[in-house]
Amino acid sequence: MVHDRSSRPRLSRDGNEEDIQATGEAGTAELDPDSWSALLAPRLAQFAGVARYEHVTRAAQRMAVPQSTLSRAMVRLEQDLGVSLFARHGRTLSLTPAGRTFLGSVERALAEVERAAESVREDADPAAGRIAFGFLHTLGFETVPGLLRTFRAEHPRVRFQLVQNYGEAMLARMRAGGLDLCLTSPVPDAPDLVARRLDEQKLRLVVPDDHRLASRRRVRLAEAADEAFVTLEPGYGLRRITDDLCAEAGFTPRIAFDGEEAETLRGLVAAGLGVALLPPPAVPRPGVTELTVTAPRAVREIGVAWLAGRPDTPPVAAFKRFLLSRRGQLIPR
């Protein structure tokens, strides 16, 4: 006899049976004390052991549990499922058709648990664990490779999952559990995050080679008030910094193009489509001139952030200490 799950009895704290109310959306397995997984999980390995040896006494000896405990567990398992899993022949057992079907699924589930346990143990291995590390696109050409090379010299077996994105997207991914640490700008200020300023990077006004300001070495940002700007899209940290610096200089920038990648913006500037406030390029770009901005002070702060209260694995803790030790030395000069 197979019991309908919605009518499966449960034991209350005083030992009396209660009816279970079906909860949760259709198709959703809820991890609550009344779920099948919570009820059956402690007995699945015991069931697999008994099925393997087809003998409760031998299984109990190999699993180092009392025979009486194992026998009661198998009886209770069959009662909870409402099916007979074993045919009993004196002291030996054999699986029923239902038992063989159940065993196949149980073995796959136990193997998946084993793989999951090994995976998280490997990720937490101090010598060869994994770090999910996010950083801005503009830090990916030179800054981050240099950091990883230096860190890996002392921790050669640590593995990295690298994620490049803009700041808000990385913080959202970190809050969802997909990142351990990220390098971002501006340095975030949020109650659920811990952030530390590591360095600052000068921003330059980038103009085409034939621009009226191209013969200058330095410029006040207000001198570009009438220019068309090419910028990163709203939501990017550098876009916010650009808007703030222009406001401090007394104007609202007229946006001609916005994009997702700084070097693409340099290409647009080289094509004569506008000017831009950008960090220095890793490799000089032909067709543009990069001007020092004297007023206002044009820099962006770079910081490392992580989720408050989340315990670090040993490799993440080591990499965090390494990043914090790089204060003032993060950006190549």
Q: The whole model's pTM is what?
A: 0.68
Q: What is the dihedral of CA 156, 158, 161, 167, to 10 degrees?
A: -90
Count of CB atoms situated within 10 Å of the CB of 72: 11
β-bridge pairing 288-295 and 159-164: unpaired
Contacts of 332 (CB under 8 A, 6+ apart): 142, 143, 146
* Token pair recorded at residue 208: 């085409």
Least confident segment among 44-53, 122-131, 310-319: 122-131
Return the SS3 of 119: helix
- pLDDT, tens digit, for every residue of 215-243? 999 999 999 999 999 999 998 999 999 99
The full 3-state SS of 61-128, as one line of letters, equals HHHCCCHHHHHHHHHHHHHHHCCCCEEEECCEEEECHHHHHHHHHHHHHHHHHHHHHHHHHHHCCCCC
The single-letter code of the amino acid at 181 is L
Write the Ramachandran bin of 178: left for phi over 0, alpha for psi from -120 to 50, otherwise beta.
alpha
* Token pair recorded at residue 62: 């190999």
- pLDDT, tens digit, for every residue of 146-182? 999 999 999 999 999 999 999 999 999 999 999 999 9
What phi and psi, each to the nearest 5 degrees, are found at residue 273? -95, 0
Give percent of the chain with pLDDT exceeding 90: 61
Cα(62)–Cα(297) distance, rounded to whole angstroms? 72
The single-letter code of the amino acid at 66 is P
Whose tokens are 């390494």? That residue is 322
- The better pLDDT of the pair 49, 306 is held by 306
